[in-house]
Amino acid sequence: MKSRPYTIIFSTISIDGRLATKTGYSELSCPIDKQRQHQLRAEVDAIMVGGNTVRIDNPSLTVKYAKKKDKDPIRVIVSKSLNLDVSSKIFSIPPLTVVYTKSENRSKQYELEKRGVVVRRFNELSDVFSDLYESFNVRRLMIEGGGNLIWSVIHEKLYDEIRVTVSPRIFGNGVSLAQGEGFQGDESPRLRLVDAKICQCGNEIHLVYIKGLM
């Protein structure tokens, strides 16, 4: 088995398990949860999101509300289609951004590379994780979404830890934490709760799970 980074899924969800509404609204975090998110960003070597998160949220994925390490974590985008706007924030400011794709769109690749972006092709998602470990020295990886990427990572057992903050909102129809085809019967992973804290804001709870039961 190839080596891969220790991988932490981090997300803030509604009471009914949604990352965002059906229109894409996803502002769930209180200021303290934002600090918690940025503290974890400061502790990892790379932050990963899916292409849809870049298209909808236009994140910078930098460390703003926590003390930084010697260098910022690299940003990683998994986009099968390479349908990305080269003017997005993540391509306009440091640090390094790496895009993994299955697309053969050479003109888009050239546009991204002109902005200093590294573009790599992959076949299996596990290849992305092993390449980050071997080529970019990524030992700790944070995954921030979206739902499709999180589902794939969970389904392929490429994670070690899940940290979720539950916000006092109900979205109904929307994007779920793991937006995929779903597990059958008793196939779904059983996690072990290792920490649970009521947020200092008084309205949210932060849960930490690791793979497997005692």
- Tens digit of pLDDT for each residue in 113-152? 999 999 999 999 999 999 999 999 999 999 998 999 999 9
**Within a domain: residue 186?**
yes
We report the CATH number of the domain holding residue 151 as 3.40.430.10
Count: domains in the chain: 1
**Within a domain: residue 214?**
no
**Within a domain: residue 136?**
yes
At 8-57, the pLDDT tens digits run 999 999 999 999 998 888 889 999 999 999 999 999 999 999 999 999 99
> Residue 97: helix, strand or coil by DSSP?
strand
pTM above 0.85, yes or no: yes
- For 116, the domain range is 5-15+25-209
Q: Are 119 and 109 in contact (CB under 8 A)?
A: yes
Q: Are 61 and 144 in contact (CB under 8 A)?
A: yes
> Residue 18: helix, strand or coil by DSSP?
strand
